A = this chain, B = another copy of it.
Amino acid sequence: MATNTDVSALIRNQGDVIRALKSSGASQEQIDKEIAKLQLIKKEHDKDDKPQFSLKCAKGARDFDPQQMAVRDQLFSTITSCFKRHGAVTIDTPVFELKDTLTGKYGEDSKLIYDLQDQGGELLSLRYDLTVPFARYVAMNRIKQIKRYHIAKVYRRDNPSIQKGRYREFYQCDFDIAGQFDPMIPDSECIRVVAEILKELNLSDFVIKVNHRLLLDAIFSISGVSEANFRTVCSSVDKLDKISWEEVRNELVKEKHIPQETADKIGTYVNLSGDNSLLNKLQTDPLLSTNQNAQIAINELQLLYTYCQRLLIGQFVTFDMSLARGLDYYTGVIYEAVLIGGHKYEVGSVAAGGRYDGLVGMFDVKNRAVPCVGVSIGVERLFSIMEQKMKGEKIRTTETEVLVMSGEDGFLEQRLSCIAKLWEQNINAELFYKKSSKLLTQIQFCEKEFIPLGVIIATEEQKNGGVKIRNISTREDKFVRDEDMVLEIKAFLGNKKCS
């Protein structure tokens, strides 16, 4: 790139050129062409002149301001309550894992893993999800049974799209059940957890698409795909919620060299979806009925459906043969919740998960498996919708109950003494960090910040050994003696909370 001095010289030269053209009576077209060149050079020059640092967040990451945090807290609290309702404990794991821990777990998505620079010592990567760290934790601690939730950030070097709610740093809220149990019972609970959260958030209607990895494998197998190609075909099929079957077929045939007739055969199955009756239809399909994997999968899905009905969530479940889930580690039932209707933009899946019976074993020297099933709530998309819904609403970002004020000079120390008494009694209180301010400004601050009560320190009341307390909404003042202040305030706030 040209240095600043080079560019300045270029600008001067180009100026000379334009002036020469003008004085020689050249055509306007010719002159405009040279002016355009000058502007281009200047633009380049301005770029070089920018300050040495950029004042921004890393690409694909973002700050949350206090209003956003208030919305996010509301979302997390709904999710956490649900996880606790189902008896889950919580754990935490580091934001980075040994690079080897993540290797070979994510198939084609592995290229999106963030690595840390080798600064001596271990090679580390940022976690890509919470599932692999969970499996590592279970294996490392030789845990046979655990139901845990984990809410934390994960990292993907993906192409960010704010419109689609796709970030490089984002939260996952995971709920997983590990242990050797009778089939489909924990699986149906995971689906119930998704339904409960989406019902409670009440953002829109939703469906939970369900499929089975073994059924997909059976479809690939009877269509003529070799076992070695199952996973790569799977990640193409997984795109069916974003692109058409024609495009997926193209990718299979042209990029992945799957024969046309194989691709077409796959197409006849993966475009199927429906309720329980689809399972009955598949069970008697001439090709699938000869495939053992297909029969296992269909039996499991039928059992799952029965349990979901018992759990009062049967109406949300749709069997969808196009659901594939890109990740390598799934081994059984897979599911994905999608919001339907009433949205300005396509939000895609808002929760997804499935069974991964082999992952813990990958971390065990003796390959001891602990079967797992779980679900991850896609909070960023839910957050975007909530934010849109609450746009314009004034959201409270503090919990301040009292502002200790004075409209007169010279009362700073009294204000400090007063607020200390409130803090000692666990009352949420603030004061202006100024020696003097107008009383009106302080009262307006209370109104703006929804602070219900003011304590006003003034000469007159001080003489009588007390303060005024002001009900901000009614604008009523009341004199209270210093020794009664805390009790009076507590009584006022107590009534507030009950009303």
A residues touching B (Cβ–Cβ < 8 Å)?
50-59, 61-66, 69, 72, 81, 84-98, 100-101, 103, 114-119, 121-122, 124, 126, 136-137, 139-141, 148, 153, 155, 157, 169, 177, 179, 181-182, 185-186, 188-189, 192, 196, 306-307, 310-313, 363-365, 397-400, 412-413, 416-417, 419-420, 423-424, 426-430, 433-435
Contacts and interface: CB of A to CB of B under 8 A. Distances in A.
B430 A87 contact: yes
Given A87-B430, A169-B94, A59 B121 contact: yes
B98 A54 contact: yes
Contacts of A435: 182
A413 B310 contact: yes
B98 A416 contact: no
A102 B134 CA distance: 31
A42 B314 CA distance: 60
Nearest to A88: B398
For the complex formed by this chain, how many copies does it contain in all?
A: 2
A139 B51 CA distance: 14
A101 B53 contact: yes
Nearest to A152: B153
26 contacts: A52-B100, A53-B100, A55-B139, A56-B98, A57-B97, A58-B97, A61-B94, A61-B96, A65-B91, A81-B426, A87-B429, A88-B398, A89-B398, A95-B95, A96-B169, A114-B119, A115-B116, A116-B117, A117-B118, A179-B433, A181-B433, A185-B433, A185-B434, A192-B423, A311-B419, A311-B423
A325 to B, nearest CB: 23
Contacts of A88: 398
A400 B81 CA distance: 11
Contacts of A116: 114-117, 126
Given A114-B117, A117-B118, A188-B416, 10 more contacts: A53-B101, A58-B122, A65-B91, A85-B427, A85-B428, A95-B155, A177-B433, A182-B412, A185-B433, A307-B413
B363 A53 contact: yes
B66 A90 contact: yes
Contact of A398 (B63, B87, B179, B420): B87
A86 B182 contact: no
Nearest to A189: B433
Contact of A95 (B56, B98, B169, B189): B169
A53 B135 CA distance: 14
A189 B55 CA distance: 30
A84 B398 CA distance: 7
Contacts of A420: 192, 310-313
Nearest to A366: B51
A349 B159 CA distance: 43
Contact of A85 (B61, B69, B87, B429): B429
A178 to B, nearest CB: 11
Contact of A90 (B61, B69, B85, B423): B69
Contacts of A117: 114-118
A493 to B, nearest CB: 13
B192 A94 contact: no
Contacts of A124: 58
B365 A51 contact: yes
Closest 8 interchain pairs by CB? Answer: A66-B89, A61-B94, A181-B433, A310-B416, A87-B430, A64-B92, A185-B433, A115-B117
